[in-house]
Structure 1
Amino acid sequence: MSKQQRDALDALMRGWPLDLGGELTTQRPLMQQMMTSHPLPEDVTTEPGELGGVPVVTVDVAGAHPTRVLLYLHGGAYAMGSAAAAAGLASELSRRVGIRAVSVDYRLAPEHPFPAALDDALAAYRGLLDSGVDADRIVLAGESAGAGLAVALMTAIRDKGLEQPRRAVLLSPWADLALTGASMSDRAKLDPALTADALRRRAADYLGDTTPMDPSASPIHADLAGLPPLLIEVGSHEILLDDAVRLAARAARGEVDVTLHVTPGVPHVFPGFAAALDEGAEALDRAASFLRAAFAT
């Protein structure tokens, strides 16, 4: 692990022009540009399509298992981001697991407030099942808001009586839209990417008239019993640190097999910087090992 790498990444993120709480007409294309500024590796191909009426992008890596799928939910505070922009991180994870990824283009707020994103995620999961992919061949992953959405999706899958995916990886989950974690304030100076004010604005966009205590919007309040094994990755420099810690505790109370890994000195969704950060590559390796174990039996 390199302090020089961590310091360089911190400086880079503090200099970003992206403002998560800024005007969406400006920030959405800026985020898209930033997320797609590096071309995908030559052995990665993407293909747009749909599942259950929801737009998706299928991400194929050379040599991937043809019938196993990683269903991926992107971040962006429910108001930014896209399935295509998430293809880079999804492919890095799917490459390590040896399976294809399907990234979901769920509808964004404020044009489509809660529960539109959750409805789309569930429709895409149903569509994947309807396409002939068995649930025991599906694993799930998400980053930031997408990680919180992944938890809400799994509770909806349980409540609808559907079979769960085998395992799920949650990268820096945003799981409390009321922003009540102590890390919102005590990690504020350490976090180079997120601010409570920005998340508060995006939470209002997503929630509309819904209370932030709704367990389908803030899964730290959900009954998580019956969920598959979870791996939660978070950095110690995140204002969302307590979201991850409390989500893990909530899962443990529900008798869920849950692993929480806190990496010191790294920022939000640090696995996304694996090319420049040793800790990011190590986190992706851990996540891949965790997901591969789903197919070992």
Structure 2
Amino acid sequence: MNTVFVGGSRHVSRLPSQVKERLDNVRKSGLRVVVGDANGADKAVQKYLVETSYPDVTVFCSGASCRNNLGNWPEEHISTDKSAKGFQFYAAKDRVMAREADFGLMIWDGKSPGTALNVLRLVRAGKKAVLFNVPARRAVTFKVAGDWDEFLNQGDEELRQGLRERATDEEWQPRDVSDQPDLLDALPAPVDELAPLQSETELHAAMNEALSSGDAKAIVEALGDIARARGMSQIARDTGLAREGLYRALSADGNPEFSTVLKVLTAVGFKLTTTKAAA
């Protein structure tokens, strides 16, 4: 039986109709629901599942007791490090739910890093997640790591900082590509030493030529050559983008967002300028 991890922000106390519709789909599909015990979205989800008499629910709690279990459902008590306090104490149950679930539905207040971090945990595990932004009344679907990269690019610095402070290094960084890569892995080999051996002048000229051509594919290829020459790991650190996502975006078949292009150009010391085209 498939399992869905439903969670959300403590500042969301009422479920929008769009979220209720998704929970109705979960019920109709007979999926197992795992949910936390916090006030806010967790409690609101529990309340709705009680009202709709849904039985297949497990409540996860950090420590010995649950704060909320409105349906008297089975409980999973997750042991925590004795030194863990605050966010890290309650994050223990979230990590386990993300591991157990096949996909996730997160109900977001538009700013809570804890809720967004659960999306990251699911994405890192190769699982699909939906993030419903309550203030914007908009759902964002995450299927691959690149979807997370684009979401992070569009977020503000406060959100990125909050995520980085809460995430473990393993959660924050994409998985390293094995020395013996899966044959189904279509990503280019992430080895910076494979970059073309070109001088700064040659790289700059190639970039300008690509931009002048107006060929999007040529521009991405030239930018990828520059990024690999500089070291993709360093570019990832400078831009705050995931290394795996950069390899994908700047590959021969990549289609990066314009914001990603600007971030990489800035990281390599280039800037865009315009001139009036000849008639």
Greater RCO (Cα-Cα under 8 Å, separation 6 or more): 1
* Same fold per superposition (TM over 0.5): no
Q: When you count strand as a share of all residues, which structure comes out higher?
A: 1
Using the size of structure 1 for normalisation, the TM-score is 0.28
Q: When you count helix as a share of all residues, which structure comes out higher?
A: 2
Structure with greater Cα Rg? 2
